[in-house]
Structure 1
Amino acid sequence: MKTLTSHKQVIWFDDALISESLAEQAFDPDFWHKHNKVLGSAQGRGTTWFVQTEQLPAALRHYRRGGLFGKIVKDHYWFTQWHNTRSCEEFQLLQHLVKAGVNVPKPIAARAVKRTVCYQADILTQKIEGAEDLVGILQSRSLPHDIYQRIGQQIRKLHQANVNHTDLNIHNILLDNDNKVWIIDFDKCHIEPDLGETNFSVWQKSNLDRLLRSFQKELGKRHINWVQSTDWVALETGYHQ
């Protein structure tokens, strides 16, 4: 990880994936539009821009708050230290997971900009080509049990890397064209203390419980093609293998 520092801004980047000169401009959507490098966009709390970098397609996301507080303070966060900013933490967490062999987007660059006592943040990560989240997939078709087992195995690898995904839901699990399982959206997630080989931990169970509730919610809301008595059991089987 390389670092570019100025008086009120820090950029962290992987120089194997992006040049220093591009990293300095990478967080301005107008730059990508000007150079005809915008591949598309998606709407969530804000706009995620899909852009073509020097090495690979990428997703550019500006950090925005959710919930009621987010209606008042949209994108400012209390500043303590640069390494405690959400962008830096997510960048380093993704690096940790890539090294651990978990299927997550590669972190390309991240930025934090200090605004008096607060900061704003952005992150640029790999765009997973041809991928769709489980919600979209299950609205149109069911999945075989071996796919659910692969999902369980990938979550287990995540947990073996001691990463607590505090918002694990079926919007954050993707399948690409080869049915490879990817896990995304690690904002506010963190590494738990390494306690060695222990029994099933409270935080691990909490992640799986949250994922189960997500399946149940979308079953009622969008009538996804999912059967708890068989599909969830297959996922748990993959997790515990």
Structure 2
Amino acid sequence: MEILRSKTEVIWFEPDLLNMPPDMSFEAPYWLVQNKVVGSAKGRGTTWFVQLDGLQGALRHYRRGGLFGKLIKDQYWFSGWEKTRSFQEFALLLHLRKKGVNVPRPIAARAIKFGPIYTADLLSERIPNAQDLVAKLQQSSLSRETYKTIGRQVKQLHLAQVNHTDLNIHNILLDENDKAWIIDFDKCSEQAGDDWKVGNLARLKRSFLKEVKRFGIHWSEEEWEHLLSGYNTL
């Protein structure tokens, strides 16, 4: 990791993955002019999918949710560069990859300070040919072995002592080889102990139940047991 630093801006980046001036990599118009935008997705804001050398990236500007987010859309209280949401997620992805968890490679993160507040951006790897579990399960059921693969990845996450505070089936992907990936680590962190892991799993199960009602996904309670079987093998 390398760092570009000024009084009002810090950029952390992986030079082996970023083949352009780091400050330009967070600007959607730059990618559009270069004709390197390959897609987008809507959430709280727009995530831009962009083409780098040898991989695609997902460019996201941090935005607030909830009622407070309607008043202050993208500004956060500054309490130190390494406490910014962009750096925290960048560093957490590096930690998880070292621990063997399948998560996107972090490419670059930025924080810009305006007096007592800051805004933040993250450019991370887009997993090629992957869909989230909601999309997959709308099409068909998954095999027992695939559920075990998902369970093992969740266990790897927990062995790394990382609490994914929004662990749901929108944030678990399967690629074309049915390899499981976990994404979206904003506001997540390392956490000591084990008690929280039960709640983490319960949240994940609730998301399956929720999407059965919302989207009619192909899922049953029996398949949850297959996931737990994978989780408990590590």
RMSD (Å), alpha carbons = 1.0
Match of 2:12 in 1: 12
**1:59 and 1:126 in contact (8 A); partners too:** yes
TM-score for the superposition, normalised by structure 2: 0.97
- Mapped pair 1:239 → 2:231: yes
Q: Separation in 2 of the partners of 1:203 and 1:111?
A: 30
Matches within 5 A, 1:92-241: 92-193=91-192, 201-228=194-221, 230-241=222-233
Instruction: Show structure 2 runs of 5+ residues with no match.
Output: none
Deviation at 1:206, TM superposition (A): 1.2
Pairwise CA distance, 1:115: 1.6
CA distance in 2, matches of 1:96, 1:221: 34
Alpha-carbon separation, structure 1, partners of 2:79 and 2:53: 33
- 4+ residue runs over 2 A deviation: none
Shift of 1:17: 1.1
- Displacement of 1:18 after TM fit? 1.3
CA distance in 2 between counterparts of 1:145 and 1:65 reads 37
Q: What secondary structure sits across from 2:24 in the alignment?
A: coil
Deviation at 1:120, TM superposition (A): 0.4
Provide the rounded CA distance (Å) in 2 between the counterparts of 1:216 and 1:162.
26
Q: Deviations over 1:217-238 (max 9, x none)?
A: 111111110001x100000010
Between the aligned residues of both structures, percent identity stands at 54
Q: Is the 8 A contact 1:18 1:55 kept in 2?
A: no
Task: Determine helix, strand or coil for the equivalent of 1:210.
Answer: helix
Q: Which amino acid aligns with 2:63?
A: R
Unaligned segments of structure 1, at least 5 residues = 196-200
User: Per the alignment, in what secondary structure is the counterpart of residue 26 of structure 1?
Assistant: helix
Cα deviation for residue 54 of structure 1 reads: 2.9
CA distance in 2 between counterparts of 1:203 and 1:7 reads 38
SS in structure 2 opposite 1:25?
Answer: helix
